[in-house]
Structure 1
Amino acid sequence: MSKEIITQNRVEQGSLDSKCHKSPLASTRRKKRFYQRAVSGVTAGKHRNEFIAFLTLTSSLESPADITHSWEKLKKRIRRRYGNFEYIWVRERTQSGLVHMHILFRGPYIPQDWISKNWEEIHKAKIVYVEAVWDTGKAIRYMMKYLSKEMEGRFGYSWKWIFKGAAQVWKWLCRALRYEMKEIIKIWEKLIIEIPPEGIRWGRIWELVGYG
């Protein structure tokens, strides 16, 4: 089973400021969820001094219909060769009907020619784009626009993009703190820095909320 979470339903770089909930870009639940997950993963990566990059995978007329299945194969190859690789992605259906994937990832530098060669072997499409990201806010805004499209408005992320159980903790915090967003975000920003990717530390969470 793939260790990935997939969901269907003015960005300030590196911040989970509550103003994101008032932004036109975050006008839907799906966009709010994506924003929260994307910025959280970026914040965690910056704290660990990890390399952050943006990757686009394209399709061709000869490509398999299911790009997600091809993506599963590619990320396994990446991890076997390069090690740690955590990510968040969105899908785009182009006007020609082909599906592309846009991925924000943390991990090692991966040469474009290596990705192109492997993607062509897997998905019959050799055109890929990869570049280091310095303005993560701009990259997140770019990805968010594809969540408005009816056909392919989905996103997914690896379990360790933030930390294992992150979505569960976020929901628990919202209920425990009665949706007081300023307090929730204050605690959340501490958690995504303190909790290791491997999983939840409920003792620390309870302490921050005031249960300890």
Structure 2
Amino acid sequence: MPQQDRKEKILQDVKSGVQRTIVESPLTKQGSDAKKKSTFSPKQKRAYHRIMTGLYVAERQGCRVMFLTLTSSPRSPSFSRQNDSFRKLKQSIQRLTPLKLLRDGYIRPADLRRHYPDLALNEPLMFEYFKVHTNEGHGVFHVLYKGYFIPRRWLKAKWEELHNAWNVNIQRCWKSKKRVAGYIAGQYLAGQDSSFTRYSKSKGWYPSGCIQKWQWLKRWQDVFNRPILEMWHDYLDGFFRNGVDTRQIAIDDYG
């Protein structure tokens, strides 16, 4: 199709309300156009650290991490109101159980063992996330979440019901923590006016008080005789040792 005809076709689709947002994820992108961490802005560095912290915690918890992309259409709410749609989706997911998915035909009995091996039939799904909201197209949510499998068919139907948009994508993150965090911080938090972004997280993305502790470690790192990331991981590991909170809080604890 000639380029001019293709432009006219896209314009017609937009005018008629057809959604044509391209979904892209760090799981399918070959290589990476994201900037190196050394060139990140302060905003990108903060986001990178929060993503890495959540991914480290998810790894220690044994949680799978998924990458979710939720797009918008011309019929979706305005950009400033789109978080209401995401909040309603979050609430719907947190009320979702394997039994509901089974009864409604979104999964088969054989899928229970595969996707929810340690979850009771009536137990709600975990959904703890870090999300970036950009103004690409009519607005896009890029969401990292730790939790359980969500059928794409259910997600597509629910998002269309809540947001009047059908184009969604969900994939498991198989890449390294650094690559995923670097991709999101570099690709979606570049700070350009053409891609205005907001990022936020759920309360359970990492334990409460972590960021204050990180700031404290950075302020005192010259006093310690250990790499700061080594101390940081020791602190996070304290949440998971034998189920007992063994977090170190005194300077002497770090030698």
Compared CA separation, residues 138 and 206, structure 1 to 2 (3 A): closer
TM-score scaled by length of structure 1? 0.77
Deviations 1:77-130 (A, max 9, x none): 111114321111112222x4x110100110011111111111111111111000
Q: Closer, same or farther in 2 for the Cα pair 1:27/1:112, shift >3 Å?
A: same
After superposition, the CA RMSD in angstroms is 2.5
SS at match of 2:248: helix
Find the aligned partners of 1:205 and 1:42 in 2 and give their Cα distance.
Answer: 21
- 1:92 — aligned with what? 134
What is the rounded CA distance, in whole Å, between the counterparts of 1:122 and 1:76 in structure 2? 12
The structure that has the greater radius of gyration is 2
8 Å Cα contact 1:55/1:104 also seen in 2:
yes
Q: Which moved more, 1:129-138 or 1:50-59?
A: 129-138
Measured in 2, the distance between the counterparts of 1:205 and 1:59 equals 45
Cα distance in 2 between the residues matched to 1:122 and 1:93: 18
What are the equivalent positions in structure 2 for 1:1-212 lying under 5 Å apart? 23-24=36-37, 26-65=39-78, 66-81=81-96, 82-94=124-136, 96=137, 98-136=138-176, 137-144=178-185, 145-148=187-190, 149-150=192-193, 151-178=195-222, 183-195=227-239, 204-207=247-250, 209-210=251-252
- Whole-angstrom CA distance in 2 between matches of 1:181 and 1:133: 35
Give the stretch that moved more between structures: 161-170 or 171-180: 171-180
Structure 1 regions of 5+ residues with no counterpart?
1-21
Q: Secondary structure at 1:135's aligned position in 2?
A: coil
How many Å separate the matches in 2 of 1:114 and 1:146? 26
Deviates most, 68-77 or 140-149 = 140-149
Per-residue Cα deviation, 1:36-91 (whole angstroms, up to 9, x for no partner): 11111111111111111100000000101122111111111111114321111112
SS class of match (2:142): strand
Total equivalences in the alignment: 183
Q: 1:158–1:189: structure 2 CA closer, same or farther, 3 Å change rule?
A: same
Quick one: which amino acid aligns to residue 140 of structure 1?
A
Identity of aligned residues (%): 29
Q: Which residue is equivalent to 1:16?
A: none
Q: Aligned equivalents of 2:84 and 2:38: distance in 1?
A: 29
Please report the TM-score for the alignment, with normalisation by the length of structure 2: 0.65
